[in-house]
Amino acid sequence: MIRTVLVEDEPNALKALTLGVNKYVPQISIVGSASDVRTAKKVITTQSPELVLLDIKLKESDAFQLLDSLSSIDFEIIFITAYGEYKEKAFDYFALNYLQKPIDFDKLTNILQGYLQRKTRHFNYEKYGHLKQLLESDFKILSIPSQNGYDMIDVDHIVWCRAEGNYTKIHLISNRTLLASKSLKHYETLLNGLGFFRIHRGILLNIKFILSVNDSMIKLKNNEIMQVSKRNKKGLISLMKFLS
């Protein structure tokens, strides 16, 4: 049995979560619950759970205030979130577990089965720091895996992203280039709505660095010349007009 604490600020939602866990998730033993940061900190400290189901938004606070108040995080976390699909991608990106309201107990069961099989936690302080920074920056920070950990990059400093097989080369305004172990499609999804446009199959371009577009040729502010495909040119012009 996994010793578990539930943290949810809505009484009805907490009751439904408790009933659902008891009925559908036999791997879990609920050892405590809380609806605010102060109580949650006390329950977690006294009960030493192996797992915490934690609502992101709490009354007059949030999950980050709770986690920041703890001297250590030695338990697995499954976040409960009402965020839309776009922000949920942050949790996927950092290999964290999350459940969207209303709770899908089949998904919760699958998450727990994976946890029991691997016997190791996904969540740690490093990933927590990156996740918090990403959410609080309103997705203006991108975390790029590197040999020594992660490079935290301001999205506004990215000039273009180029497909390199299953990898992506990311070019910055400083002329620094990073090689990320994710596909271009992955970054296209993360950067959706932030002024990036796929000018052809292999290039995702930050349009704020465009100096001019003549026919199918794009001149950037750093004097680079790129070509937009005929199929994508109309969409590029429309996006530039929309953002102007």
The range of the structural domain enclosing residue 174 comes to 139-243
pLDDT above 80 for 126: no
Examine the domain organization and report whether 200 and 115 are in the same domain.
no
Give pLDDT, residue 95.
Answer: 39
Tokens for 75, please give them: 């338990």
Q: What is the mean pLDDT of residues 7-15?
A: 91
Mean of pLDDT values over 204-232 = 91
Q: Does residue 22 share a domain with residue 65?
A: yes
Q: Are 30 and 131 in the same domain? A: yes
Q: What is the pLDDT of residue 177?
A: 93
Is the pLDDT at 233 greater than 90? The verdict is no
Rounded to two decimals, the pTM is: 0.54
Question: What ranges make up the beta strands (E) of the chain?
Answer: 2-7, 28-34, 51-55, 57-58, 61-62, 76-81, 97-100, 141-146, 149-154, 158-164, 167-172, 177-180, 196-200, 203-206, 210-214, 217-220, 225-227
End-of-domain residue from the set 85, 105, 135: 135
Is residue 32 pLDDT above 90, yes or no? Answer: yes
Cβ neighbours of 233 (radius 10 Å): 17
Q: Are residues 131 and 143 in the same domain?
A: no
Considering only residues 171 and 80, tell me which one the structure prediction assigns the higher pLDDT: 171
* 149 and 162, same domain (yes or no): yes
Question: Which one of 31-45, 99-113, 201-215 scores highest in mean pLDDT?
Answer: 31-45
71-85: average pLDDT: 77
204 in the same domain as 127: no
| Domain identity same for 6 and 123 | yes
User: Given a cut of 80, is residue 86 above it in pLDDT?
Assistant: no
Quote the CA–CA distance of 97 and 83 in Å, as a whole number.
14
The count of structural domains within the chain is 2
Do 158 and 217 belong to one domain?
yes
